[in-house]
Amino acid sequence: MDVEKLKGMAGASGASDWAIATEEGRTASFNIIPYTYFPGTEPRETLRPKEVMKGVVESQELTLFDRHGGKMGSSAKELTGRSEDYLREAIAELLQGARSQDNPPFELLEAGLSYDDVEITDPEIVSRDLAGLDTAVGTLKERMLAAAKDERVRLSNVEVYIRDARAGLLTSRGVSLSEPSTRVEVEFCVLNEYHGTTGEHTATLRGRKLAQIDTELVRRYAVYAREACWAEKPKDHEGPVVLTGDALIDFFAPQSVFGATPFTQHLGGENVYSGSSIFELGKPVCERFDGERITLISDPGMPFGLLSSAFSMEDGVPMRAVTLIDDGFVTGFLTSKQIYDYLGPAKRGPQHPTGPMANTRIACGRLPEKELMLSDGKPVYVVRAFSAFAPDVHSGAMKCEIRSGEVIHGRERYPIRGGLLIGNYFEALENAHFSSDPITSGSYVGPSAVRFERLKVSGD
């Protein structure tokens, strides 16, 4: 695609402004099923992956803005053709879309702002071709198997996704930005046998670098898989619940495609603007605090953080660390340039647009994780993974099945599986204690465990 030609056509289109977002690079994916099984037959080793996939990334998205009668509209399209006729039709379509909208006007970002450097590229990924990545993935799989150190542990599958691309943004206001990045995701399922029963645990490891994939975690997940063979459905419980591992990360910084939390909903500037956020600047995030108060920072500068970046691809806003909740009180909202203008100085908090939610940084607390697990006469329920953590982001209501966890009661510990964790996200934070041990995982940095004193588990 000739970007100069596209700029010329966009500039002559009659639109008030334009923006061109580009992405160039490559993807690779490897879907490995080490053995195939069917009851009554011998397992068969598969010598090669099911599918090896190489992708070429080369995309352009054009946005046109139109001001009309004190109103404003914008329309964006991913360009799939390259001919002049195609581009002319696309521009006409976008203009028609932009002119049909009656939104309040806002000012587009001007050039000349400064941007931080952010480390989000893995030289190892960049330097390897498809065959080289195939070799690296094979080594990764062997390390995962070796980490389990138990012949009863098997990998059901390993799916590896690698992306190596450069994103860019050009606008009619002179903004010209470009940023390379890499990303790797490893989704896998561990099987473990116990007295003829097979248990599983599925997990995804994510990072910007191959070296961030902590294959040692396979050992932990293999234990969860084995415990799943005899884990019991929990008994009804009302009291302390500790979230750790994937359950904790899902609670604060879900990394799946469905990822959203009540915090990201109510800290979203567009929801403040539309009246569908209950948060206000200077107000607490819950009615009272009987435990430690939460501090939450959106941090785009974390080295090799999954959501680290120098600028927002939406509009070029420089990404900066911003404290959204400070010691339990709301101090800022997430804003694009458009929403920043709409909210005005009284409602928006920080003195600059923040861009979207970046990595989630939660302040640690006073006690080490092991002290948060103390049962102190009544049982403590520990949740390590949910089947799917999908709270109602508006009300904060949570009804989530426990996929993996344990009950600690005095010196007794036993695994649990099933039952529903029931409570309210905001009310849970009224009496919470954050561990003093920090962990970093994907887009999360914060305590390794959080103890909520008043939650329910519905079980037997």
Residue in the structure block whose two tokens are 């046998």: 193
Q: What does the alpha-carbon distance between residue 89 and residue 325 come to, in Å, rounded to a whole number?
A: 46
Rule CB under 8 A: is residue 126 a binding residue for another protein? no
Which of 78, 24, 21 has its CA nearest to residue 55? Answer: 24
Convert residues 175-194 into a mask of x (bound to another protein by CB under 8 A) and - (unbound).
Answer: ------------x-x-x---
Binders of another protein in range 297-336 (CB under 8 A): none
State the nearest-atom distance from the C-beta of 426 to another protein, in Å.
8
Stretch binding another protein (CB under 8 A), from 250-258, 312-320, 351-359, 375-383: 250-258
State the nearest-atom distance from the C-beta of 268 to another protein, in Å.
8
Q: By C-beta, is 119 or 187 nearer to another protein?
A: 187
Rule CB under 8 A: is residue 58 a binding residue for another protein? yes
Binders of another protein in range 387-416 (CB under 8 A): 387-388, 390, 392, 394-395, 397, 399-401, 403
Determine which residue in the list 115, 143, 194, 198 makes contact with another protein, applying CB under 8 A: 198
Structure token digits, residue 42:
């011998």
Convert residues 69-108 into a mask of x (bound to another protein by CB under 8 A) and - (unbound).
Answer: ----xxxxxx-xxx---x------xx-xxx-xxxxx----
Stretch binding another protein (CB under 8 A), from 167-175, 272-280, 293-301, 351-359: 272-280
Binders of another protein in range 139-168 (CB under 8 A): 154, 156-157, 159
Rule CB under 8 A: is residue 282 a binding residue for another protein? no
Number of residues in the chain: 460
Rule CB under 8 A: is residue 270 a binding residue for another protein? yes
Binders of another protein in range 35-54 (CB under 8 A): 35-41, 43-44, 46-54
Rule CB under 8 A: is residue 16 a binding residue for another protein? no
What phi and psi, each to the nearest 5 degrees, are found at residue 6?
A: -65, -40
State the nearest-atom distance from the C-beta of 20 to another protein, in Å.
15
Q: What does the alpha-carbon distance between residue 433 and residue 367 come to, in Å, rounded to a whole number?
A: 8
Determine which residue in the list 356, 419, 446, 447 makes contact with another protein, applying CB under 8 A: 419
